[in-house]
Amino acid sequence: MTAAVIDGKAFAQGLRGRVAEAAARFEAETGRTPGLAVVLVGEDPASSVYVRSKGKACLEAGMESLEHRLPETTSQADLIALVEALNADPKVDGILVQLPLPKQIDDKAVIAAIDPAKDVDGFHVVNAGRLAVGEDALVPCTPLGCLMLLKDQLGDLSGKNAVVIGRSNIVGKPMAQLLLGESCTVTIAHSRTQDLPDVVRRADIVVAAVGRPEMVKANWIKPGAVVIDVGINRVEAGEGKTRLVGDVAYDEAAEIASAITPVPGGVGPMTIAVLLRNTVVAARARLGLAAEAGL
């Protein structure tokens, strides 16, 4: 079998188009466009690239982007003061504080300061709790993007065995909650899991989010399973060059799976598209407007 390639780039483009339409309707209804504030502390090159692309994507969707760049030496109190000002700013519908933060700042304290109604990353404990009990929540962008790809590929997920490899608060745990919400039988595997290949072999759906290049091998995959690869790992490619690979050994896994996301071009493009989606959803909810269908 050769797997279907799940084209996250194309799906993300479609979603961004729908978000742009929703942003235009929001403007027609309210007289302003949805606004996303992105806060970057320090000059980590990868974070800088992410923040720039988030701002650009916002503008392309006809939304307002407010970028705040603070020095590496910023204190936790000053960062929280900025978050509180953004909480109070009526033009701001979404707040994203780019992680990781410098070591003098406690991520948890900063996330706790974000108004849950503006928490478009879905990292606040109120949103994590709402997701866990099945209430309307802002949901972390990467796992929600993975779920969209899975539902697009499979339709109803109910009763499927899903294995999520990785237990981070950003991807693994919310991914497991989302799959449980779709009535999957969910296993969360992690670095202490025994007999990981055997656990993965039971899965109809595999979501790999561990950050280890090509760790998941073809002989771990049940024939016909759908594989979602969240990993983005840069590895040596010889002659001083590097290339990006996922957490799954793609070429061999594609011979066994029924569908698989490539790296790059799979899950990666979904994250920003869902961030824009979450911003429009947050904007409408905050103003008490009806939710948009199709987002």
Residue 70 is a binding residue for ligand GUN (CB under 6 A): no
Q: How far is the CB of 247 from ligand GUN (least distance, A)?
A: 15
Among 121, 182, 214, 247, binds ligand GUN (CB under 6 A): 121
Q: How far is the CB of 45 from ligand GUN (least distance, A)?
A: 13
Of the candidates 98, 108, 95, 92, the residue with the CA atom closest to the CA atom of residue 72? 98
- Which residues in 160-189 contact ligand GUN (CB under 6 A)? 170
Whole-angstrom Cα distance, residue 146 to residue 267? 6
- Catalytic residue numbers, as ranges: 54, 98, 121
Cβ-based nearer residue to ligand GUN, 4 or 49: 49
Whole-angstrom Cα distance, residue 154 to residue 163? 16
The footprint of ligand GUN on this chain (CB under 6 A) covers a number of residues equal to 7
Residue 154 is a binding residue for ligand GUN (CB under 6 A): no
Q: How far is the CB of 123 from ligand GUN (least distance, A)?
A: 7
Residue 99 is a binding residue for ligand GUN (CB under 6 A): yes
Whole-angstrom Cα distance, residue 128 to residue 221? 30
Q: Angle at CA 284, nearest 5°, toward 281 and 288?
A: 135
Stretch that binds ligand GUN, among 91-99, 129-137, 182-190, 204-212 (CB under 6 A): 91-99
Question: Which burial class, exposed, middle or buried, applies to 230 when counting CB atoms under 10 A from its CB (0-12, 13-18, 19+)?
Answer: buried
Among 6, 22, 101, 141, binds ligand GUN (CB under 6 A): 141
Residue 98 is a binding residue for ligand GUN (CB under 6 A): yes
Cβ-based nearer residue to ligand GUN, 97 or 165: 97
Among 79, 80, 97, 254, binds ligand GUN (CB under 6 A): 97
Q: How many CA atoms lie within 13 A of 286 on its CB side?
A: 25
Among 15, 36, 96, 199, binds ligand GUN (CB under 6 A): 96
- Which residues of the shown chain bind ligand GUN in the complex (CB under 6 A)? 96-99, 121, 141, 170
